[in-house]
Chains A and B, each alone.
Chain A
Amino acid sequence: MVRCFLIHTVCPVTALSAGESRVLYSRLFGPDEGALTDQHRELSPEERRLLQKEKVAMVARQVRSAVSLSREASGQLLVEVVPGEEALALQEADSGVARLRAGDPFSEEMSALWLGVQSLGFTLVCEPHENLLLAEGTLRNLTRYCLEHMHMLGQGSEVLLRSNRIDALLSRLLPHGQLLFLNHRFAQSLEKEVAAYMVK
């Protein structure tokens, strides 16, 4: 299962200290593990929510440093892309996977797959025994949709002001965090539904 999908910054943000990342969208799937484990049972619902937010922020920070280190190591310069060049942006994206140790921040070990597109990171946190090849394809697909439908290569505020579109997208391509084996025909059929939702 996928535990969470998030979109966050991987570039310096003036309001934040170095190494911090601004989370622009996050969706956790499944029940809050804090409610089910004895460890966090004594926490109030407010504290549990805070804990979840902190978990997401921590993943974002980890991915942010992974992206910077990977970019630094490869030494390749970022190619500026403009709206309309979503396919190019996706092709040029850096990608990788980070191991999140058990308890750091999820109670079990997780694999965080990431795509760094320009100043944004798209991250999928999966259980490590998941089919990462499928997860990688799904992440690329989701990222392509977000870039295209949320016009993220432009001003990019739609991710904040139209986040329900991402919810609708996820409910089809990644229902409740379930990775799906979709061949191009199935994918097309879902794409149509998503497109119909987007024009509303």
Chain B
Amino acid sequence: MYSHGSESLIKQARDIDEPELQRFYSRLVRLLQGKELGHEAVDSLQRLLLILFATKYTRTLPSELQKRLLLLLSSRSEQFQVLSSAVLRETLPLSGQELNYSQENIGQLNTHVVGLLLSQAGSRADLSSLCALLLRGLESRQSEGPVHLLTHTLPILNTILTHSPECLTEDHVTLLSKKLVDWLRYASITQGGGASSGGFFTGPRSRQPVPIAELDGTVSGDFFTVLCVGQSFTEDQWMNVYSFSILHIWHYEITTNENATKLTDQVDGSVVSMVSATSSSSRLLPPKERLREKAFQYCQRVIEQSDRKAHKRTDSELQKACLVEAVHILDCVCVEDASLVYRTFPCIKALFGRLSSDLSFARVVLPIAQFYLNHGEMAAVDCESVWKLVFGQFPAELFNDPFLAHELLRFLRLNLESLQLRVPQYIHSIPNLLKFLAWDSTAVLDDFVDLLPSLVTAGTAVELLHTLLDLPCLSATLVLQHRSTCLPISEPGGRGLLSLDAFRNPSFRGLFLFLLRGEAGSGDTIDRLSTLHELLAEAADWPRVVQCAQTVPVLLHIFFNTVVEVADEKLLAHLILVMLERSSLLLNLPTYIEEVHRVFSCHLLRLCKLQPSLVVDQSRELVEFAGTTASVYSKEEMYTHVVWVLGEYLSVSCDSRCSVRLITSCFEALEAVLFEITSSAPPPGTACPAPRVVTTLMSALAKLASRSHDLIPRVSLFLSKLRTVTRGGSVVWCSDEEDLVAIVTRGEELWSLLKAPGVAQSVLTPPPHVTVPRWHRDTNASMPLQLRTLTSLTHSQ
């Protein structure tokens, strides 16, 4: 595969020195001057191509070589056309007149040259002139023209349309619409000339016209489509293929462009709609509308043909792709002309009925769902069964299909607004949709970053939070589910996994079924989570689970950032409780718990800052959490933040309900912990408490004491003891000397501050106008004020 040889070739191509390169160029020029170009020329050109390709920097070719290469573009040998255009693509776009094609030499414009022209187009004007040239070629086709060019005209025009739709004038659109109608609807229905002939544009030479066949072998009774087969094909049959292939972009681009100008010809449009609804006299329609009508017929026929049993596997795959395309085009056509909706729905409905029971057609159902979403309301069609499939069965059973996941999530992203508005199943299917994330988290994370905010509502928030936290469990469970369906119980590969046994054990079935639930609303979480975590303990090093766990913190951040916008105080309080509870109820994965604690801490702080009264509200649980000494060691980050929040916001200035009793009980809980961790060694197997925890506890105690002066002597006593104890130099609860010094210094500061209770209060619990200053924001206006302040400062000295 990728060998050392290839690597060294690239290196050689990059490292070639200038004199050698110049010699190579002149040798190549000489070679190209020869009459007959042979293998050596091919070889050298290919080497030149490699030299140019291998570096990201531009090399400039000698003008003589460039001239030779330009001549080669119209060589009779395709190999030289390919090579010369490839080499020129790797060099800079040509300036001036070197590549100039007009109606006269259009015969030299082979597909490789057009590709080159396209890749080096320097402006939209270049594209416009290329477009005009190709279309003129198309127009004059009837008499005589470059046959080969014809097929490539459509892809090129399609490219131009995609990149710069304004290059096509109204006349161009009309001309192309007419052409497309002819190719789509009126291609020959007999097979092309003998199969023995070389190129694909040999005219019909056979004596007896043989009719084309359907994919199942029967003789085709209707017009030609991409799903018709024959021994060989005529030119217009090839054009039929190309026309269908570009049709959806054509409709997509034309529709988008027309929306802008729709207002002007609205009257015209309504007349057309009436005509197309009857369709009997479609020949009288203007070209664009006629194309719409023919596209409609073509798609209907393709859908019908897709029901035939294809002999070849590749053809049955093509049938699926054709269904996707046909439904998509029908959707576009109905957006353009709403009156077609009523004619289209029976066919779409029948198709859905045909495919809905076969999951191998899931990816065809997505465009059908799009059709239902766009037009179902207008046609008053019941969409329930479509959503049941899209939000129910697909994620539940096809979570491991990366392509379906990509397309389904894209469908959701694109239609977010209408889904939120009209499809309640979307929000209900949260646990189901998250299966995509649990299975292939890295591939779909990006989509969920966009989707998650839409899933956070006041009604779903709590359950969603639990579900996100249990995402690694879901991931492990999906692995188990996958294994248990892929491997029979007797398979040795399935043995030896305790979790797989648990998964199959009926007594734990409920736990796993809860994780695998398809709809939200059956409860936020379950009681026996810790049991589940124990059962899944061995999943901690499964790569899929680890990858999944790594995405959870990102999603939690998005969750909390969104939830503050939709939640009331009651919900926020609930979320705080969930955080406290779940901080010790997480699947034990390396770094996962710490990461989640970090996110919790960050958002606990934000929530409390946003709603300081939450702290008084939830003081019982917060104090309980902060009073548990074990948390100092196992949840350092979380613990520090809870303590800080208590010290900062458990104050009458945040909530008038804050009583002295409350402050005292909180003080006592914190005091007990601080005393415990600073009087004994940490429990065996754990590290010393982080200095930050100790100082945060000290500060919190000082803050609380400053609000209830009776407590001041107790803090002071502790702080003075601390100083005495540490005078010896080392203590069991702090291994680093510098840390210890820092702790003691902090203690001394607080101690001296508390000696003046009035000052302590204003420093430790500053009134809001100090922390949220309301200065003049306008620098000009506030300047005099600043000057006056400065003056008074200097004058007082």
Contact = CB atoms under 8 A, between A and B. Distances in A.
Interface of A: 1, 9, 11, 13-15, 22, 24, 28-33, 35-36, 45-46, 49-50, 53-54, 57, 65-66, 69-70, 72-75, 95-99, 101, 111, 113, 117-120, 127-129, 131-134, 136-137, 152-153, 155-157, 159-164, 167-168, 171, 175-187, 189-190, 193, 196-197, 200
B217 interface: no
Contacts of A69: 442-443, 547
Report which residue of B56, B325, B547 has the largest number of chain A beta carbons within 10 angstroms of its beta carbon: B56
A186 B225 CA distance: 12
A176 B447 contact: no
Contacts of B241: 180-182, 186
Nearest to B409: A99
B111 A175 contact: yes
Interface string B124-136: 1011000000000
Contacts of A9: 2
B151 A175 contact: yes
A119 B1 contact: yes
Report which residue of A1, A74, A181 has the largest number of chain B beta carbons within 10 angstroms of its beta carbon: A181
Interface in B228-276: 228-233, 238, 241-242, 244-246, 248-249, 252
Given A98-B443, A164-B45, 18 more contacts: A15-B7, A31-B121, A31-B163, A32-B119, A45-B58, A46-B58, A101-B446, A131-B324, A133-B321, A134-B324, A152-B1, A156-B1, A163-B86, A164-B82, A175-B111, A178-B155, A183-B215, A187-B314
B702 interface: no
Given A99-B406, A156-B6, A189-B233, A176 B226 contact: no
B65 interface: no
A30 B200 contact: no
A159 B3 CA distance: 11
A160 B56 contact: no
Contacts of A95: 402-403
19 contacts: A22-B7, A22-B10, A32-B120, A66-B443, A96-B440, A120-B2, A132-B363, A132-B406, A133-B363, A153-B1, A156-B2, A163-B50, A164-B45, A175-B151, A175-B152, A176-B158, A181-B226, A184-B315, A197-B78
Contact of B115 (A50, A164, A171): A171
A96 to B, nearest CB: 4
Top 9 A-B residue pairs of the complex, sorted by shortest distance between their CB atoms: A178-B155, A53-B56, A134-B321, A176-B155, A181-B226, A73-B544, A31-B121, A96-B402, A185-B229
A157 B5 contact: yes
A36 B163 contact: yes
B35 interface: no
Contacts of A119: 1-2
Contacts of A28: 119
A13 B227 CA distance: 44
A99 B6 contact: no
A176 B5 contact: no
A117 B1 CA distance: 9
Given A156-B1, A164-B82, A177 B159 contact: yes
Contacts of B200: 189-190, 193
A197 B87 CA distance: 18
Given A70-B443, A97-B403, A156-B2, A137 B118 contact: no
A163 B46 contact: yes
A97 B773 CA distance: 52
A187 to B, nearest CB: 7
Contacts, number: 254
Nearest to B545: A73
Nearest to A11: B2
B50 A175 contact: no
Interface string B1-18: 111011101110000000
B244 A181 contact: yes
B543 A75 contact: yes
Given A155-B3, A183-B229, A31 B442 contact: no
B83 interface: yes
Contacts of A46: 57-58, 92
B410 interface: yes
B377 interface: no
Contacts of B356: none
Contacts of A163: 46, 49-50, 53, 86
Contacts of A72: 543, 547
Interface in B455-488: none
Contacts of B252: 129
A168 B78 contact: yes
A46 B402 CA distance: 38
Given A73-B544, A175-B111, A164 B2 contact: no
Nearest to A54: B56
A172 to B, nearest CB: 9
A39 B363 CA distance: 36
A153 B1 CA distance: 5
A11 B3 CA distance: 11
B245 A180 contact: yes
B318 interface: yes
Interface in B314-337: 314-315, 317-318, 320-322, 324-325, 328
B407 interface: yes
B245 A179 contact: yes
B731 interface: no
A70 B544 CA distance: 9
Contacts of A49: 56, 58, 92
B233 A185 contact: yes
A127 to B, nearest CB: 7
Contact of B83 (A98, A128, A164): A164
A31 B128 CA distance: 12
Nearest to A33: B163
A171 B111 contact: yes
B547 A73 contact: yes
Interface string B41-60: 01001110110010011100
Report which residue of B1, B47, B163 has the largest number of chain A beta carbons within 10 angstroms of its beta carbon: B1
B152 A156 contact: no
A133 B230 CA distance: 24
B374 interface: no
A193 B768 CA distance: 81
B1 A97 contact: no
Contacts of B231: 185
B112 interface: yes
A76 B446 CA distance: 25
A95 B320 CA distance: 19
Contact of B159 (A1, A22, A186, A187): A1
Contacts of B588: none
Contacts of A189: 200, 232-233
A160 B50 contact: yes
B154 interface: yes
Contacts of A113: 403
B320 A159 contact: no
A162 B328 CA distance: 39
Given A97-B402, A171-B112, A185-B229, A35 B320 contact: no
Contacts of A24: 2, 6
Nearest to A7: B2
Contacts of B766: none
A97 B9 CA distance: 30
A129 B328 CA distance: 10
B158 A178 contact: yes
B156 interface: yes
B152 A66 contact: no
A171 to B, nearest CB: 6
B248 A131 contact: yes
Contact of A157 (B3, B49, B163): B3
Nearest to B200: A189
A66 B442 contact: yes
Nearest to B151: A175
A118 to B, nearest CB: 5
B229 A184 contact: yes
B653 interface: no
